[in-house]
Every structure is written in structure tokens, then in C-alpha cells.
Amino acid sequence: MTQLSSSFLNIIEKAENLQVLNRNELIELLGYSEVSPEADRIRSTANQVSRKRFQNRAMILGQIGYEAAPCPGNCQFCAFAEDYTSLGTSTITKESIVQMASDFLANKSLFALFLMGMHDFKLEPLLDVIAALKPILRSDVRLVVNIGDFDRKQAEELKAAGVSGAYHILRLREGEVTALDPVQRRQTIQTTCEAGLDWYYCCEPVGPEHTAEELVDQMLVGREFEAFQHAAMRRVRLPNSPLLKHGIISEWRLAQVTAVVSLSTIGNNRLRSIAVHEPNTLGFCSGANACYAEAGANPRDLDEATQRSRGRSVSDCEQMFLECGYKAAVNGNFETVELPELL
């Protein structure tokens, strides 16, 4: 049997005792191979810590990508990047958005409904969509946006319209593999928090070329601004992307990154969940308790209706959680909702 170092075991003991881990300790945890005994222990520790932290309750969120277009943000990991995309411009009708939302809302386990637009989104059409959803939105389901950079006035308009939070990321190598300004991305995160919106964050999009140091520095932004939700996401293969040459990480490595994300958030009392993208059972046994069902456009999919391709349904997510020992989820009021039986 492999002897684990005292340095490593000291870090694990700190995490088990819910003591905040420093940057160097987190870097050490990501420095081990995903097939090592250390990585097994990291995943196991994060799993135990998260299940206790979140009372072994899952969180399921549904996202609708309501528009797609070649995007000037030109993120090399994104299906919409204008220099690499094969997708055209399309917008889902309000009637179709309402129907997609109704499908998500048929499940009592839904925590929040997300509306995802492009980086250069237009506020008024988004507000029109929100107004169209109001008559069907249950009081126990939150409304969240996943859009480009916005200012304080726009944040306040969204909040007044009923939006409770925003997903906004300072991505790995922002400004190098994207045409976006990392300073502006950070400013939007600060704006989100100052406006009183829940802030959803993620360590993404992780590829084999990323070092432990840059992964930790990126995920620690979530601790700096006290994310409502933190997460890990791996980059997917897109045929025209310059990043394709690097390949992708395994779900086993993604589970390790997810575990370290989870442990990096110890001490953040605002945190309510850890997500893994795309949903997978390894992640749910490595510190993640949240996932996303998806419909419409998806930045990781070349099908404009991701529900026909990569996107999972709420029922799919429920079943994966059941397979991993979760018996209940939380709705938007943090009330416990029992999950259905395994199919």
C-alpha cells in the first residue's frame, strides 16, 4: 500500500476539520495524477465534506439558451466564437421559451431557471422574455441570467424584473484565448455582488494544458467574491477550435478538479452548492451536489437545440443523483424535495 506523505495528510486533515486551505495547499492537491492514491483521497474527502455541508441534498438547475450567433468574444473554447463557429444566428421565440420553461417547471426538484444569452446581449428583449415567463414561474423556483458583461444600472433592472442571480466567469486564460477584457469580467462579478444578486461561478473551461497554479488562482476568485455557487467544467472538443490540439481532460481528472474546487470554498458561508459541468456521477461523488439540465443553444454544442444532443433533462439529473446516493433536492426556497425512485 502506498504511503501518503505527512504534508498531504495534514492538508486532508485541515479540510476534514473545515479549516481554510491556502493557495499552496490547493496547488499541491491538484498536482497529483488523477489515478493516484492521493487523488482518490481528495475526491473522497470532498465528497464527505460536501454531503455534510449541504445535508446530502442535490440542486438541479435548468438553463435555456434563448439565442445563438457568431460572437465577437471569440472564445476559442466556445461553439459561438465568430472565427470558428459553424452556427448561424437564431433566436428562440418567446412561445418556445415558455414551453421549454414549462417542461423544466414540471419537475418539483428544480431550484432555478437560467436564461442564457450572448455576450453582446440586448437588455430589452431579455426583459421581455422574463415578463413572458412570470405567469408560469413558481414561487419556489429562482430566475437567473447567464449573459455578457453588464453595468450596475442593468443589474438593478434585472433584479427589479425578478432575477435573483447571475452566472459570470473570469475564465481560464481570459484575454489570451478570448477577445474579452479580464478586468471588465472581474468588474461585472463585483457589480453582480454589489447589486445583491447571487453570483454563480465556475473553474472553467479546464483543459490538459492548464497548470495547477492557474487553476487554483482562477478558482480562488470564487472565494474572493464569495460565490453563491462554485463549480468545475471541462473544455469539450470543438472541431474548428485552435485548442483542439490540446485534447480534453478525463471525467476522472474533472472529478479531482471538482473536489479541489469544493475544498477551496471552505470558509465561504455564502456558498450553497458545488456544480459539475457536464453532469456526471463521478463529480457527484467528488464534492459536487449541483448540475444543469439544458435546452436551446449551448456553448459546448454545435446543435442549436442541445436537448437533442449534449443537454440533459431534469429527470436525467434526478436519476444520476439517485445513483449517487442522493435522496432529495432543494427548491428555490431551500425546501427539501424528495427525488423520485430510480427508473
**Which domains are present in the chain?**
6-337 (3.20.20.70)
Instruction: Express each pLDDT in 42-64 by its tens digit.
Output: 999 999 999 999 999 999 999 99
CB 174 within 8 A of CB 185: yes
Instruction: Express each pLDDT in 202-212 by its tens digit.
Output: 999 999 999 99
| Local structure of 141: helix, strand or coil | coil
Q: Radius of gyration (Cα) for the chain, nearest Å? A: 19
Q: Which of 56, 27, 26, 29 is nearest to 42 (CA)?
A: 29
| Local structure of 112: helix, strand or coil | strand
The separation between the first and the last C-alpha atoms of the chain, rounded to the nearest angstrom, is 39
23 sits in the region (left: phi over 0; alpha: psi -120 to 50; else beta) called alpha
pLDDT-based confidence at residue 16 (cuts at 50, 70, 90): very high
Q: What pLDDT was estimated at residue 1?
A: 62
Peptide bond before residue 67 is cis, with ω within 30 degrees of 0: no
Share of the chain above pLDDT 90, in %: 94
Instruction: Express each pLDDT in 280-320 by its tens digit.
Output: 999 999 999 999 999 999 999 888 889 988 989 999 999 99
For 153-220, give the DSSP string: HHHHHHHHTT--EEE----TTTTTSSSS-HHHHHHHHHHHHHTT-EEE--EEEE-TT--HHHHHHHHH
pTM of the predicted protein model: 0.97
Instruction: Express each pLDDT in 157-199 by its tens digit.
Output: 999 999 999 999 999 999 999 999 999 999 999 999 999 999 9
CB 30 within 8 A of CB 254: no
Could you list the beta-strand ranges (E) of the chain. 57-65, 67-68, 90-91, 110-116, 142-146, 165-167, 198-200, 203-206, 229-234, 273-277, 290-296, 328-330, 336-338
Instruction: Express each pLDDT in 233-275 by its tens digit.
Output: 999 999 999 999 999 999 999 999 999 999 999 999 999 999 9
